[in-house]
């Protein structure tokens, strides 16, 4: 926090360095437990609600529908298991 206040960007985890690389956030994120927030589904639904009319006019590719359903299934399973971990690092390994 102090690094951000003092505009010391190089000391802020996740901030792009001058050469374009991002500094590691390894170990800085608190663990997250899936299923620990009973309101998250409602909040995600509410975020998409204003776009429902526009989305109903679109034809989504079957692959997009499949991936969305798979993600929903994974989140549901992780929530049922109340899986807890520092999820950022494993997720970043897949998205680069």
Write down the pLDDT at residue 53.
83
Confidence grade of residue 30 (pLDDT, cut at 50, 70, 90): confident
Write down the pLDDT at residue 31.
87
The 10s digit of each residue's pLDDT in 40-92 is: 778 877 887 888 888 888 888 999 889 989 988 998 899 899 999 888 777 77
CB under 8 Å to 85, separation ≥6 — which residues? 31, 32
Q: Decide which of 1 and 59 is more confident.
A: 59
Nearest to 87 by CA among 73, 75, 70: 75
């Amino acid at each position: 926090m102090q690094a951000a206040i003092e505009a010391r960007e190089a000391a802020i985890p996740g901030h792009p360095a001058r050469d374009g690389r991002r500094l590691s956030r390894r170990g800085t994120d608190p663990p997250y437990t899936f299923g620990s927030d009973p309101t998250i589904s409602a909040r995600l639904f509410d975020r998409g609600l204003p776009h429902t009319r526009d989305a109903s006019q679109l034809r989504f590719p079957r692959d997009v529908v499949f991936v969305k359903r798979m993600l929903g299934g994974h989140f549901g399973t992780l929530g049922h298991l109340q899986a807890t971990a520092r999820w950022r690092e494993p997720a970043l390994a897949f998205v680069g």
